[in-house]
Amino acid sequence: MDPLDILTNMDKVFPYYQAIFSADEHRVVGYEALARFDNNGEVVSLGSFFYDQTIPEEYRNEVQKSIIVQALEDAVESEEPYLLFFNQNPNLLMLDHGEELLSILRTYEEKGLSLSRIVMEITEHNFEGEIDHLQHLLLYYRTYGIKLAVDNIGKEGSNLDRIGLLQPDILKVDLHMLLKTSVPQSYRDVLYSLSMLAHKIGATLLYEDIESSFQLQYAWRNGGRYFQGFYLHKPERKRVEQGILKEKLKNQFEMFINHEKKKLRFLHELTNKIHRKVEDVLSKHKHYETYDELLAFMCEELDKMCFRMYVCDENGFQLSGNRLKREGEWIFQPEYLHKNWSWRPYFLENVMKMSLNQRGILSDLYSDIEVGETVRTFSFPLGQAQYLFIDLSYDYLYEKDALL
């Protein structure tokens, strides 16, 4: 639609509120104020308006200012101390170094609104200026208690180093891709990495674009504290009652918890089962002369569950070659002898756990570099600071649904 229609009808510009729900209280903790326009009775989104570079910057700022002021008026009048999220184009924000916006916010602080309730939401990869200039401005905003959320993580390319530099309070992770019929494991791995990043930098995870129970479960299982999306509640002109989904979310999370506990029990039982199986093979073949001979026995006994195995010392150096199953046949790969794997994440940590507990360990899911499949590794202490590694095949994991 013509931007002039918007600018000459500013009385038809208003915020819609999309509720944000919490995992810990099962209630609405905040709202994202979304720009809407009444186009002859049809409510249309103005989301793209603020990033349309054919529209003069002062016009876009004027519309943004109108949305913010209306939302702040609503917040001052409300008795509920909810968080209020504002989308902000960082390029527009930096035109006057955020002075006008801060002035507006401080005006409402004088009216009794705590600025710790305000969350500035930016998409860092849309910013075209020097990131350290934006960082300095946001740090200054923080001195007033204003929070920062980085948006659209998982939807488009984001620079993790820039995110780390901005030190956001909230990471908004987009889950739209999970609705596709086929989602690569690598995408799930990226989302998992983002949850680890949030944990490391002390940020809260907010999962957005949740349109199904499956996405909500994924968000809950991967460290989400806040949730947002059409599955929970669509944007509306008025704010909703804070406990509107309390019972529903409580029931769903209990279902997620029970499912996760069942899966963890299964993983524990399977770990014990493989541990006993490996012990049986070692008991049966006590007098092996080389590790390669031991692996040959293991391959025969564990043929249906794995596709590769090898032995390392406590520092990650291979004491054997690889045994690898290719097209149903086990082959020997002597070139892997003496390779070192201590650089792999959690390698030394897991070796230490096995050394202390003298128990086998089943790894998390990961994508294997060489075969390009989703696998798990079972590690087992052989004694004398030597460890057996058994890579479980995707087919075996697929058969045991709880392993994927």
**Whether residue 156 has pLDDT greater than 60:** no
Give the model's pLDDT for residue 159: 67
Give the model's pLDDT for residue 193: 80
Indicate whether 218 and 276 sit together in one domain. no
Give the model's pLDDT for residue 289: 87
Residue 198 phi/psi, 5-degree rounding, is -60, -45
Supply the CATH number for residue 85's domain. 3.20.20.450
Give the model's pLDDT for residue 336: 96
Pick the last residue of a domain from 212, 230, 248.
230
The answer to whether 166 and 140 are in contact (CB under 8 A) is no
First to last CA, the chain: 47
Indicate whether 314 and 388 sit together in one domain. yes
**Whether residue 404 has pLDDT greater than 70:** no
Residue 248 falls within a domain, yes or no?
no
Indicate whether 210 and 310 sit together in one domain. no
Half-sphere exposure of 105 (CA within 13 A, CB side): 21
Position 200 confidence tier, pLDDT thresholds 50, 70, 90: confident
Indicate whether 270 and 128 sit together in one domain. no
Q: What mean pLDDT value characterizes the chain?
A: 91
Residue 245 falls within a domain, yes or no?
no
Give the model's pLDDT for residue 165: 83
Residue 192 CB neighbours (<10 A) = 16
Domain that holds residue 383: 260-403
Q: What is the mean pLDDT of residues 127-140?
A: 91
Position 172 confidence tier, pLDDT thresholds 50, 70, 90: very high
Q: What is the mean pLDDT of residues 82-110?
A: 95
**Whether residue 189 has pLDDT greater than 80:** no
Q: What is the mean pLDDT of residues 258-265?
A: 93
Residue 167 falls within a domain, yes or no?
yes
The domain tally of the chain equals 2
Q: Can you tell me the distance from the alpha carbon of 52 to that of 239, in angstroms, rounded to the nearest whole number?
A: 28
Rounded to two decimals, the pTM is 0.88
Reference 329, options 355, 360, 308, 353; nearest CA is 308
**Whether residue 256 has pLDDT greater than 70:** yes
